[in-house]
Amino acid sequence: MTTLPANAARHDPIAAAYLTTSRMVSVLMLLTFGLLVTVVVAAKFGSVHISLVRAFADASSSDHAIFFAARLPRLIMAVIVGAVLAAVGAALQALVRNPLAEGGILGISGGGALGAIIALVFLTRIGASETTVVPLVAFGAALLSTVAVYRLAEVDGQLEPFTLLLVGVIFNAFWGAAIMVVNSVVNFYYAHTILFWLMGSLEAPTWHEVVLVAALGLSGFVALMFYARDLNLLSLGDEAAAELGVDVDFLRRLIFVATSVMVGAVVSVSGIIAFVGLIVPHMLRIAFGSDHRLLIPASLIGGAAFMVIADLIARVAIAPAEIPVGAITALFGGPFFVYMLRREGGKPLGL
Amino acid sequence: MSSGAAPHDSALTARDLRAGYTSVPVLRGVSLEVAPGELLAVVGPNGSGKSTLLRVLGGTMRPWQGSVELQGRPLQGLPRRAIAREIASVAQENAVAFRFTVLEIVLMGRAPHLGAFRFESRHDLEIAQAALERFDLLALAHRHIEELSGGERKRVFLARALTQQPRVMLLDEPTAFLDLKHVVGIFSRFRELATARGLAVVATLHDLNVAAAYADRVLLLRAGEVIGYGTPSEVLTEGNLRSVYETEIYVGKNPITGQLTILPAHTPRISR
């Protein structure tokens, strides 16, 4: 399978064989258009029927109230969370040279969620501000978890991709268990919140949260884009990347910090939403090739669209009740992960 | 290219290199000098330190002792990207984690010359296309790297190294596991490049006959020590090879071409 339709390759085999700026622009525009369509559809539908026209025209209508107070912030949060998780997935896959890597699978989300819960349950009790301390602790815990996973996956100073994946999976399960322990010892008031973090949800974010997560996500994304070409070189192996001018140790640290900030911020508001970072980059890689200068921004937009759709299903499937959005992504993602594991198992994939 | 720097008659100089991975030294005092346009073959048995020497010469491994100089400038003081503009390396094994096309891989050779967020220009593409052409890969430009044969893959990585437009090329067993046609094709191309562009080439080699045929000079290693360093006929002598390879070896001249020829002189004992 080629990354472009066969007729394009016939017209100009050279232009079709690498990432040109024009191809990059057209792919990103196409994806943006797709995202806009999903956003409009998702804004229209919900557990309550509203008219978008009335919501904008009449500020005193209930349509206006529902749209601006509930549906819009949630929609924006879905866009941000999906975008960040998918972009992080693409970057982590490049970093560990394995298409099965993702924030959730590597234990970063789990660590972040545990940090968020501990901050919420214990630190806010001693007077810390919830909106500030929870994301910060989530980020710190996500980073600590990442560093621990990474260190344990090193064999003789070399990163072992399969070991990394296994260690990540173990950490993920471990953090989940730790969250359940915290859940058992705290009072009932927190139980719902903790479940929310475990399952992932985009319920009722505040504008303050939306802005904070967007800012952290965007700065992390800029860092990833700055090093997107270096991530391409990393696909050739650490040594070959170094020979092409990449400071591999620095790049690893930087990407781990950037992705931990991004995942920590997202987890602190949405909980653990798994598999988005796995499915979206993988599909986009098949469709548009492996160049990370396109793959990372494409994942950003594609992840946003994916999450908007997943959240729409979460909201309307059993309305007026709601399914946690993390359950929706995991229902799609679990089988997908198994499919990829089987598929990649047949090929050495340069591991 | 840049003015100011006086033309240096040595592309790469190594002095008294000692290096290793654990406390055991793999290189024990290796010195060498490669001039522009020169092809140096590094030969020696398995584990004699050939690949380690290339790593130290390329700056990806720090020596315990000794120094490497790139046109008179110490390698250790140079940033990685600056080194990558001057020295290109091709490893023995080249695994690629994701599906990249041949052209994408070859264009990666332009990375050390490009700033962040910059895309390859027309000029970069022309350099990559010329490298593809030199290694007969133009027709494969759009193919995915994992679909290629071993010989084609090797040529892709050699073309990538050429696209870096380096002054020095370090090749680790560039023709291992390749058939004779590829061996001849690859080395005659590097001979041409060395002569035409003043490229300095350091290649590790298992095949002593290839070293004898193509190298200007040969460095013979045993357990990290230099046993011989000079022209092929100076270094590849029966005495040197017998002591290094611990087996009887015949060195003669090909009666047709006059080419130095090395063969094992071990008489097989067939037991019945």
Q: Can you say whether the dihedral through the CA atoms of B5, B74, B91, A285 is positive or negative?
A: negative
Question: What confidence tens digit (pLDDT) does each residue in B123-158 have?
Answer: 999 999 999 999 999 999 999 998 898 889 999 999
Displacement of CA B124 from its chain's centroid (Å): 24
What is the percentage of chain B residues whose pLDDT exceeds 70? 94
Distance CA A181, CA A46 (A): 35
Interface check for B166 against chain A (CB to CB < 8 A): the answer is: no
Strand pairing category for B65-70 and B12-19:
antiparallel
Reported as a single tens digit per residue, the pLDDT across B150-170 is 889 999 999 999 999 999 999
pLDDT of B5: 43
Number of Cβ within 10 Å of residue B209's Cβ equals 17
Q: How many CB pairs under 8 A join A and B?
A: 116
Q: Helices A108-118 and A188-199 sit at what angle, rounded to 10 degrees?
A: 160
Among A227, A245, A285, beta carbon nearest to B81? A245
- Which residues in A lie closer than 8 A to residue B104 (C-beta atoms)? 17-19, 232, 289-291
Q: What is the pLDDT of residue A346?
A: 44
What is the distance in angstroms between the Cα of B161 and the nearest Cα belonging to chain A? 9
Q: What is the pLDDT of residue B4?
A: 40
Q: Which candidate in B98, B108, B127 is best for mutational testing of the A interface (most A CBs within 10 A)?
A: B98
Taking a C-beta distance cutoff of 8 angstroms, is the pair A201, A194 a contact? no
Residues A212 and A134 sit within 8 Å (Cβ to Cβ) = no
Averages of pLDDT over each 10 residues, chain A, 351 residues: 46 79 93 95 81 82 82 90 96 88 85 87 71 80 88 77 84 88 78 76 77 91 94 93 93 90 88 88 90 96 95 86 86 78 52 34
Does A32 map to a domain? no
Among A21, A159, A235, A283, the strongest candidate for a mutation testing the B interface, having the largest count of B CBs within 10 A, is A235
Per the CB < 8 Å rule, is B60 touching A229?
no
Tell me if A243 and B87 make a contact (CB, 8 A cut-off).
yes
Is the pLDDT reported for residue B204 higher than 80? yes
DSSP state of B65: E
Three-class HEC string of A271-296: CCCCCHHHHHHHHHHHHHCCCHHHHH
According to the model, what pLDDT value does residue A300 have?
Answer: 97
**Paired tokens of A88:** 């992080």
Under a CB-based contact definition with an 8 Å cutoff, are residues B39 and B194 in contact? yes
Tell me whether B80 touches chain A (CB under 8 Å).
yes
Q: Is the dihedral of CA B54, B58, B60, B63 positive or negative?
A: positive
So what's the pLDDT on residue B8? 59
Tell me what pLDDT residue A166 has.
Answer: 86
Task: Report if residue A351 sits inside a domain.
Answer: no
Place of tokens 């584990």: B47
Q: What sign does the CA torsion over B175, A240, B93, B133 have?
A: negative
Q: Which of chain A's residues have a Cβ under 8 Å away from the Cβ of B80?
A: 242, 245-247
Report the pLDDT value the prediction gives residue B271, as an integer from 0 to 100.
Answer: 64
Contact A3 B101 (CB under 8 A): yes
CATH number at residue A220: 1.10.3470.10
Assign B230 a pLDDT band (cuts: 50, 70, 90). Answer: very high
> Is 70 exceeded by the pLDDT of residue B270?
no
Residue A283 in domain: yes
Q: Is B107 on the interface with A (CB under 8 A)?
A: yes
Its domain, for residue A175, covers 39-343
Which of A1, A97, A229 best tests the B interface by mutation, with the highest count of B CBs <10 A? A229
Q: Looking at chain B, which residue has its C-alpha nearest residue A22? A: B119
Residue of B nearest to A230 (CA): B111
Kindly give, in sequence order, each residue whose CB lies less than 8 Å from that of residue A207, ignoring residues fewer than 6 positions away: A73
Q: Which residues of B touch A340 (CB under 8 A)?
A: none
Number of domains comprising chain A: 1
Q: What is the pLDDT of residues B57-87, one digit of tens each?
A: 999 999 999 999 999 899 988 999 999 999 9
For residues A149 and A77, give the distance between their C-alpha atoms in angstroms, rounded to a whole number.
Answer: 28
Of A255, A273, A276, which Cα lies nearest the Cα of A97? A255
Q: Please check whether residue A350 lies inside any domain of the structure.
A: no
Q: Is A55 buried (19+), middle (13-18) or exposed (0-12) by CB count in 10 A?
A: buried
Given its phi and psi angles, is residue B27 left (phi above 0), alpha (psi -120 to 50 degrees) or beta? beta
Mean pLDDT of B259-272: 76
Indicate the residue of A9, A229, A285 with minimum beta-carbon distance to B111: A229
pLDDT score, position A187: 72
Q: Does B85 touch chain A (CB under 8 A)?
A: yes
pLDDT higher than 90, residue B18: yes
The reply to whether residue A243 touches residue B88, judged by beta carbons under 8 angstroms, is: yes
Tokens of A103: 């924030």
Complex prediction ipTM: 0.89
CB contact under 8 A, B108 and A244: yes
The answer to whether B78 contacts chain A (CB < 8 Å) is no
For residue A157, give how far its alpha carbon lies from the nearest alpha carbon of chain B (Å).
Answer: 11
Q: Is residue A113 part of a domain?
A: yes
**CATH top-level class of B1-86+166-246:** alpha beta
DSSP string, A156-190: TTEE-HHHHHHHHHHHHHHHHHHHHHHHHHS-HHH
Q: Identity (one letter) of the amino acid at B132? A: L
Helix axes A161-185, A108-118, angle to 10 degrees: 20
Q: Is residue A25 part of a domain?
A: no
Sketch the domain layout of chain B as residue ranges: 1-86+166-246, 94-164
- In this prediction, residue B268 carries a pLDDT of 66
pLDDT at residue A343, rounded to an integer? 67
Alpha-carbon gap, residue B68 to B16, rounded angstroms: 9
Q: Which of residues 177-236 of B touch A (CB under 8 A)?
A: none
What's chain A's length in residues? 351
